[in-house]
A and B are shown apart, each in its own frame.
Chain A
Amino acid sequence: MAGTIIGTSVTVEGELSSDEEVVVHGTVRGTLSSADAVSVGADGTVDANIKASSLSVAGQVTGNVTAKERVDIQAGGRLIGDVKASRLTIADGASFKGNVDMDV
């Protein structure tokens, strides 16, 4: 199953929830939750609180993040918000502003 792909120049405004992988190349505003992985591409923008099993950020995320497993902020990625996850990696060149809670 391909999962859900939000293409570039596509905007979702509202609540997006899924049981499968979600890939965001466009824009999501509202809330974003998935039982599987969520990844935000280099051109992706998410203005939403995110709940996922894992999150990979190469684009821009503004909102609080709760991940069951891990959060990876790639080089060039930007995350503003609090992170609640047992594992967090921040690559060289990534930017992050917020609190980290690893007591999950």
Chain B
Amino acid sequence: MAESSVIGSTTVIRGNVRGEGDIEILGRVEGDVIFTGDVTISEDAQVRGRVSGAAISIAGEVVGDVTGTAAVILAATAHVQGDLITPRVGIAEGARVHGSLNTEGSGRTEEGSRGARSREVPRRAAAAVKPAAASASARSAVPASRSASPATPVTGKRKPPPPVVPALRKGARARKKSRG
């Protein structure tokens, strides 16, 4: 049973804190705080490092990127210097934030500030993979690809992938295929 952790108000940790379950920080952490559960940073608490968890509520000070896979909630007393990466965000009036806010995607990346750019690449890669997978399934059974297509989100007309044409030099000779 993973009981929740508490970093008391007079406690200072220089180093990383990671683990499962929830954590409440009343004191100071100079290092990364990486949890699977909820992270609560109270008023007067300070974190200098990355903060990562499910739902993250901040009423104190954070200098570093904040990644919440569920949500990031900033109270009026919160002060964050760093990027917020989360699908759901709440910022109370009076909270101070210096950094970018990214509510796209799952927020599961721990990449921090590079999140916006790095997410662009997998999406394009996924689009490139899908037609190939569809054609593979079409070869075996046509209805399979038809039933699969409504499940994918509608992103307008998808063009078929460009034909794969090997670059041939002038005077290149045809080579016999190994498989008849």
- Which residues in A have some Cβ–Cβ distance to B below 8 Å? 1-22, 25-26, 30
Q: Are A16 and B13 in contact (CB under 8 A)?
A: yes
Q: Are B10 and A25 in contact (CB under 8 A)?
A: no
Distance of A16 Cα from B16 Cα, bound (Å): 10
Q: Which of B8, B16, B18 contacts A2 (CB 8 A)?
A: B8
Nearest 7 Cβ contacts at the A-B interface = A14-B15, A10-B19, A19-B10, A7-B5, A18-B11, A4-B8, A15-B14
Asked if A5 meets B12 with Cβ closer than 8 Å, knowing A10-B20, A10-B23, the reply is no
Name 5 interchain pairs, CB-CB below 8 A, sorted by A.
Answer: A8-B3, A10-B17, A10-B23, A12-B15, A20-B9
Asked if A11 meets B18 with Cβ closer than 8 Å, knowing A4-B27, A18-B8, the reply is yes
Q: Which of A5, A6, A14, A17 contacts B31 (CB 8 A)?
A: A14
Q: Are B12 and A17 in contact (CB under 8 A)?
A: yes
Q: Which of B1, B8, B15, B31 contacts A3 (CB 8 A)?
A: B8
Interface residues on B, range: 20 to 34
Distance of A2 Cα from B49 Cα, bound (Å): 24
Distance of A18 Cα from B9 Cα, bound (Å): 8
Chain A residues with CB under 8 A of B131: none
Chain B residues with CB under 8 A of A9: 2, 19-21
Q: Which residue of B lies closest to A32 (CB)?
A: B13
Q: Are B3 and A7 in contact (CB under 8 A)?
A: yes
Distance of A8 Cα from B31 Cα, bound (Å): 20
Q: Are A30 and B5 in contact (CB under 8 A)?
A: no
Q: Are A7 and B2 in contact (CB under 8 A)?
A: yes
Chain B residues with CB under 8 A of A2: 6, 8
Q: Are A30 and B2 in contact (CB under 8 A)?
A: no
Distance of A17 Cα from B1 Cα, bound (Å): 26
Chain B residues with CB under 8 A of A20: 8-11
Complex interface residues of chain B between 33 and 73 (CB less than 8 A to chain A) = 35
Q: Are B8 and A13 in contact (CB under 8 A)?
A: no
From residue B86, how far is it (CB to closest CB) to chain A in Å?
Answer: 22
> B134 on the interface (CB 8 Å rule)?
no
Distance of A90 Cα from B89 Cα, bound (Å): 52
Complex interface residues of chain B between 69 and 127 (CB less than 8 A to chain A) = none
Q: Are A1 and B2 in contact (CB under 8 A)?
A: no
Known: A4-B8, A9-B2; 9 extra A-B contacts, CB below 8 A, are A2-B6, A6-B5, A7-B23, A10-B18, A10-B23, A15-B13, A19-B10, A20-B8, A30-B15
Distance of A14 Cα from B31 Cα, bound (Å): 9
Chain A residues with CB under 8 A of B149: none
